[in-house]
Structure 1
Amino acid sequence: MTDDFGKPQLTGQDGVGVHDALQRLWTPHRLSYVKGEGKAVGDEPAGCPFCRVVELDDESGLIIARGSEVFAVLNLYPYNPGHLMVLPYRHVPDYADLTVSETAEFAAFTQKAMRVARHVAAPHGFNIGMNQGVVAGAGIAAHLHQHVVPRWGGDANFMPVIGHTKVLPQLLGETRQLLADGWKALD
């Protein structure tokens, strides 16, 4: 097929393709996540990013708060600003594997995460949950983690649906600092 000037026309699968009106936000840092690099496999904590992150200082590891048996960390690939996770230090895959004391601190950290987010960012609601096992959607199934995602009316407005763009108005380091300061303020 040629254009009006006799040049070959490109289809969506040729060369650079045809413009499709979608915006592209290049996020090469996510490729390791997509490839599954650094994911814990099985019962072994060796190589688990959640086990490694606790060895870093709080700022480098995006850790918001540390308890005696669990910790709160900002999600490296957030769905929304302030998206954090609560995890046990112990490398266990299933909620039923937690001890009674781990379960209590896990719940207390989840409640505090909600209070902190309300204090510093005034979300209208939250998505809270965990995916148990790869088949259920867990990105890192070998180390239990619960997501706490602040939500605002209109946070999923036209940008992702029509604009094909996700807007995160704050850098992760700034979000971590805001939440960590809020956590300490509510002690």
Structure 2
Amino acid sequence: MLAPMSSEPEQQIGVGAPDAFQRMWTPHRMAYIQGENKPTGTGSGDGCPFCTIPAKSDEDGLILARGELVYAVLNLYPYNGGHTMVVPFRHVADYTELTAAETAELAEFTQHTMTALRTASGAQGFNIGMNQGSIAGAGIAAHLHQHIVPRWGGDTNFMPVVGHTRILPQLLADTRRMLAGAWPAE
């Protein structure tokens, strides 16, 4: 929500110097910052969300599609609308630990995700990748996951650059329904 702009100086002590900027508060992001849904250890039984998501319904888990070895799921903390991850069912941390079959299905699901995003939302490009290890930026380093972030011309504006805030135009449940409906038939 936006705080109203005012030409009146802020009256609270310690709030800071008033300026002409509006503030967009995103308190839901604090859950991510404080580590909500992050595992307590490196094992599959240590609260790994990627191990617990498959036990949920597709709607509750934000799952787009399930394969034999991997599944596609919306990111609960997306960088962009439609930000999807392809995750092996098996609790494995490193790309080199995947079997040939897991690697092939992960690649196939990445292609299916791209197709669904193009069909459902007209994605014009993608950022695709994995962060291997916490030092490389993996939020959940103990369970491999590949990010597929759709991109559109002009989707990066001043908000993420200046305000470190993402603007998402759709609820995750609506995005899941739209992309699951656009998932390629096999």
TM over 0.5: yes
Take 2:163 and 2:26, find their aligned partners in 1: how far apart are those partners? Answer: 17
RMSD: 2.2
Residue number in structure 2 paired with 1:129: 129
Aligned to 2:148: 148
Q: Which residue of 1 aligns with 2:82?
A: 82
Letter of the 1:93 counterpart: A
**Partner-residue secondary structure (3-state), 2:18:** coil
Residue number in structure 1 paired with 2:160: 160
Could you tell me the percent identity over the aligned residues? 62
The more displaced of 137-146 and 26-35 is 26-35
1:4 matched to which residue of 2?
none
What's 1:51 paired with? Answer: 51
Provide structure 2 residue ranges, at least 5 long, that are not aligned to the other structure. 1-8
CA distance 1:26–1:103, shift in 2 (3 Å)? same
Cα offset, 1:100, TM superposition: 0.9
2:6 corresponding residue in structure 1: none
Cα distance in 1, alignment partners of residues 185 and 155 from structure 2: 26
Distance 1:164 1:35, change over 3 A: closer
Give, in angstroms, the shift of residue 99 of structure 1.
Answer: 0.7
**Under a length normalisation based on structure 1, what TM-score does the superposition of the two structures give?**
0.85
Is the contact between residue 41 and residue 142 of structure 1 (CA under 8 Å) also seen in structure 2?
A: no
Distance 2:16 2:125 in 1: 41
Q: CA-to-partner distance for each residue in 1:127-175, whole Å, 9 max, x for gaps?
A: 0000000000000000000000000010002343456653211111100
Query: In structure 2, do the counterparts of structure 1 residues 42 and 161 end up closer, same or farther at CA, with 3 Å as the change threshold?
Result: closer
Unmatched 5+ stretches in structure 1: 1-8
Amino acid at match of 1:15: G
Distance in 2, matches of 1:38 and 1:16, equals 31
**For 1:84 and 1:125, how far apart are their aligned partners in 2?**
14
Alignment: residue pair count: 177
Q: Which has the larger radius of gyration?
A: 1
> How much has 1:79 moved relative to structure 2?
0.7
Amino acid at match of 2:105: E
For 1:40, the equivalent position in structure 2 comes to: 39
State the distance in 2 between where 1:164 and 1:43 align: 29
SS at match of 2:17: coil
Separation in 2, partners of 1:82, 1:170: 9
Secondary structure at 1:28's aligned position in 2? coil
Runs of 4+ in 1 over 6 A off after TM superposition: none
Superposition deviation, residue 22 in structure 1: 4.2
CA displacement 1:72-114 (0-9 Å, x = unmatched): 0000111111100000000110001111111110000001111
Are the aligned partners of 1:127 and 1:150 in contact in 2 as well (CA < 8 Å)?
yes
